[in-house]
Each structure stands twice: as structure tokens, then as C-alpha cells.
Amino acid sequence: IAGITQAPTSQILAAGRRMTLRCTQDMRHNAMYWYRQDLGLGLRLIHYSNTAGTTGKGEVPDGYSVSRANTDDFPLTLASAVPSQTSVYFCASSELAGDYNEQFFGPGTRLTVL
Amino acid sequence: GQNIDQPTEMTATEGAIVQINCTYQTSGFNGLFWYQQHAGEAPTFLSYNVLDGLEEKGRFSSFLSRSKGYSYLLLKELQMKDSASYLCAVRDSNYQLIWGAGTKLIIKP
């Protein structure tokens, strides 16, 4: 079944630890995105990639890094986790970055940093 | 700054009609999206407007007025499964989506 998968589903992490959230899509979409969703706030863009080999910063990039080595995978790394990074993280993809195309979302990763 | 405003919560009755409003102020406009998000799940696409007017898709319709910075999502013949959050998002001049905080819709029998 085509779509986006994320791993892990949830994670409890000690502050200061390094963590990589995985995201894989099999729709051959060019663009991919990482969002965080916090209660009372809209989805906020962390990083994005318009095509394999390129990445860009979104609204809240500090403390996060991404890479896009190929079309399918777009991992998000927290170099040294802090409690304010406790959130639900969604990965999304779209066929083209600048066109009408809707964004398809993965099931999310619930991350708690203690 | 960029801003998307939606009501935090709305309540409606099964079988009725509800209108969820969204106003926006963004740096540029390249389309407006509505998404549905059930609790604990991912957002899923509902509708897209880029020109003024009404787009109808089954029980759901979405309206856009670019001059007023305003959109609404109209849900007809409400069903219990429509209980969810509805997210308004505007694509700005950088072709990135700016999201509202969402409207939680509660459907009562």
C-alpha cells in the first residue's frame, strides 16, 4: 500500500540524547516536509526538501537537522534533545513543491523529552 | 507576521449544517487548503481553493474570498464520524503552508 511510514510511533527520550526520526515514502514524491504539532498551535514547518539532494529551513529549524540522500527517505535528527522538543512530529510529502498538489501525511511520531 | 485564525471549537447536531470560518494574513497567497484530522491521527486533505468562489465536493464545500482574506468550510448532513479537527492552511509566497491551529468540531446526536 502506497503511503508514508514513520518510525518510531512513540518515544520517551532523556534530555541531551540524540534521536533520529525516520520517514519513508513510496509514492515517488519530490517534496518532503517535517512538521511539529503542539496543542493550541498550528502545524509548524521544521525543515523541508523540494527534491532529493536539497533541503531548506522552515519556521522552527533550531535544534533539528535533516538529510535527503534519496527520493524516498527524509530523516529528522535531534542532536541534543530538550524538553521543549516534546511534540508530535509529522512527516509529509507532495508530488511537486510549488504546484497545487496536496500534502500526504505520515501517522506521526509522539516524542516526549524528559 | 503571518496569521491564520479559526474558531477553537464548534458544536453541531447530527444531520445539520455547520460552517467553519478561516481568516488569513500572509505574505503572498498561492492557494488555501482544508484538512481533516481525527484525534490521534494524521491530517487528511479535504479541499483546495486558489480562485474566488465555491468548490463543492460531496457533503463538503469550501469558499474563498481573496480580497477579504477569508475562507469557510461548509459541512452538510453532519454525521458522527465528522467529529474531528479541521485545519485551514494557506500557501504563502515561498510556497510553504502556514497552518491555523484548527477547529475542533463536536457532533452531538
Of B41, B50, B96, which has the smallest distance from its Cβ to A45's Cβ?
B96
C-alpha B21/C-alpha B74 separation (Å) is 9
A73-92: per-residue pLDDT in tens? Answer: 999 999 999 999 999 999 99
C-alpha A94/C-alpha A55 separation (Å) is 15
Q: pLDDT-derived band of residue A8, with 50, 70 and 90 as boundaries?
A: very high
pLDDT at A99: 63
Q: pLDDT-derived band of residue A97, with 50, 70 and 90 as boundaries?
A: low
B39-53: per-residue pLDDT in tens? Answer: 999 999 999 999 999
Which one, of B85, B89, B77, lies nearest residue B104 by Cα?
A: B85
End-to-end CA distance of chain A: 35
Residue B78 has pLDDT above 70, yes or no: yes
Interface of B with A in 78-97 (CB under 8 A): 87, 89, 95-97
Residue A1 has pLDDT above 80, yes or no: no
Q: pLDDT-derived band of residue B31, with 50, 70 and 90 as boundaries?
A: very high
C-alpha B109/C-alpha A57 separation (Å) is 45
Minimal-distance CA residue of chain B relative to A43? B99
pLDDT at B54: 97
C-alpha B107/C-alpha B105 separation (Å) is 6
Assess contact for A66 and A35: CB atoms under 8 A.
no
3-state secondary structure of B20: strand
Which one, of A30, A105, A106, A97, lies nearest residue B31 by Cα?
A: A97
Contact A97 B95 (CB under 8 A): yes
Residue A2 has pLDDT above 80, yes or no: no
Contact B31 A90 (CB under 8 A): no
Q: Output b/e per residue, A60-76; b: 16+ Cβ within 10 A.
A: bbeebebebeebbebbb
Contact B97 A100 (CB under 8 A): no
Contact B42 A108 (CB under 8 A): yes
Q: Which residues of A touch B95 (CB under 8 A)?
A: 97-98
Task: Give the residue-averaged pLDDT of B6-27.
Answer: 97
Question: Within an 8 Å CB–CB cutoff, is residue B43 touching chain A?
Answer: yes
